[in-house]
C-alpha cells in the first residue's frame, strides 16, 4: 500500500505577504492542493495573503465557516474538509492548509489537526502571529526581564478579564470586535487606559493604530487587538 501524501498546516502571517517564511513559501508553491478557511460569503484572508505565490494550476479547497454556527456547526465543516483532504492525500496529492498568523495560536486549524494526523504525516509550519506583528507595528515591546504576558480573549466575562489583567505585566487582548467598550471600561477601572494601544488589520494595507483612549467607537473590526503594559512600557 502506498503512503498517503503529506499535509502541512502553514502559518501565512498576519497580512503582509512579505511576512511569509521561506519555508511556508516553498511549501505553498509546491503543494498539489491548497486548502483555506473563508467566511460563508466573500474572500479568504489567508488565501489573499499568498495569492501572488499561487500558480493557478493548484486545486483549491475552500473551507467555508458559516456565520450561523447553530445551523452549520464549524466542527461539521472541518470534518467534511478533513474528508476531502483525505481523498486527495490518499491519491498521492500533497495538501497545504493555509492559516492566518500562526496555526497553533488560536488558529482554527487546530480543530482539524488531530483528525488529519490520523490520515498521515502532518507538519505544522509556524507563522508570524498577529501579537508579534502588532507589537512591532505599534513599536511597543511586549516583555522584558521577568515580565508575564497574558493573552486575553475579549470574549471572556468582565470579572475573568479583570482577574487575568491583574496578574499580568503585559496584556494582549484579542477578538476585540464588539467587546471594545467592555475592554475600555475594564482598563479605565484598572487605571491602565492611558497606556493602552489599539491596532486593527496589523501589517495589512488598511492598518490603523492609535492610543486606545482616542478610539470613540464601541466596536472594532474582527482583526483588531489591544496591547497594554502595566508600567506603560516594557523597559
Nearest residue to ligand SAM by CB is 101
**84 in Cβ contact with 50 (< 8 Å):** no
Confirm or reject binding of residue 199 to ligand SAM (CB under 6 A): yes
What part of residues 149-178 is at the interface with ligand SAM (CB under 6 A)?
Answer: 174-176
All three cell numbers of 209, joined, read 493604530
> How many Cα neighbours within 13 Å face the side chain of 9?
26
- E strands, the chain, in order: 7-11, 33-39, 59-65, 95-99, 122-125, 149-153, 170-174, 196-200, 208-211, 224-229
Confirm or reject binding of residue 223 to ligand SAM (CB under 6 A): yes
Measured distance CA(72)–CA(210) in Å, rounded: 37
Q: Is 77 helix (H, G, I), strand (E, B) or coil?
A: helix
The one among 33, 35, 95, 100 contacting ligand SAM by CB under 6 A: 100
Task: List all residues 6 or more positions away from 67 whose beta carbon is below 8 Å from its beta carbon.
Answer: 39, 40
**Residue whose C-alpha cell is 467566511:** 39
Confirm or reject binding of residue 14 to ligand SAM (CB under 6 A): yes
Contact segment (CB under 6 A) with ligand SAM among 33-41, 60-68, 117-125, 127-135 equals 127-135
Of the two residues 88 and 184, which places its CB atom closer to ligand SAM in the complex?
Answer: 184
Confirm or reject binding of residue 8 to ligand SAM (CB under 6 A): no
The one among 59, 211, 222, 233 contacting ligand SAM by CB under 6 A: 222
Nearest approach, Cβ of residue 189 and ligand SAM (Å): 22
Binding mask 41-80 for ligand SAM (x = CB under 6 A): ----------------------------------------
> Residues binding ligand SAM: what is the number (CB under 6 A)?
24
What does each C-alpha distance from 109 to 29, 116, 158 come to in angstroms? 20, 10, 28
In the complex, the residues that contact ligand SAM under the rule CB under 6 A are 14-15, 100-102, 105-107, 129-130, 134, 174-176, 199-204, 222-225
Amino acid at each position: 500500500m502506498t503512503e498517503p501524501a503529506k499535509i502541512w498546516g502553514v502559518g501565512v502571517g498576519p497580512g503582509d505577504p512579505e511576512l511569509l517564511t521561506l519555508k511556508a513559501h516553498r511549501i505553498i508553491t509546491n503543494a498539489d492542493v491548497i486548502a483555506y478557511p473563508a467566511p460563508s460569503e466573500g474572500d479568504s484572508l489567508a488565501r489573499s495573503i499568498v495569492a501572488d505565490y499561487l500558480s493557478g494550476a493548484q486545486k483549491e479547497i475552500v473551507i467555508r465557516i458559516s456565520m450561523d454556527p447553530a445551523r452549520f456547526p464549524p466542527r461539521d465543516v472541518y470534518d467534511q474538509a478533513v474528508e476531502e483532504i483525505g481523498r486527495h492525500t490518499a491519491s498521492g496529492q500533497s495538501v497545504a492548509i493555509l492559516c492566518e498568523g500562526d496555526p497553533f495560536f488560536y488558529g482554527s486549524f487546530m480543530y482539524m489537526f488531530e483528525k488529519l494526523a490520523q490520515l498521515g504525516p502532518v507538519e505544522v509550519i509556524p507563522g508570524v502571529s498577529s501579537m508579534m506583528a502588532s507589537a512591532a507595528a505599534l513599536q511597543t515591546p511586549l516583555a522584558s526581564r521577568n515580565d508575564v504576558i497574558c493573552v486575553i480573549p475579549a470574549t471572556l466575562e468582565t470579572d475573568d478579564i479583570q482577574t487575568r489583567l491583574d496578574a499580568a505585566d503585559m496584556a494582549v487582548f484579542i477578538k476585540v470586535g464588539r467587546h471594545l467598550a467592555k475592554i475600555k471600561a475594564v482598563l479605565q477601572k484598572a487605571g491602565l487606559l492611558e497606556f493602552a494601544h489599539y491596532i486593527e488589520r496589523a501589517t495589512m494595507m488598511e492598518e490603523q493604530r492609535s492610543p486606545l483612549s482616542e478610539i470613540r467607537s464601541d466596536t472594532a473590526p474582527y482583526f483588531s487587538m489591544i496591547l497594554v503594559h502595566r508600567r506603560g512600557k516594557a523597559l
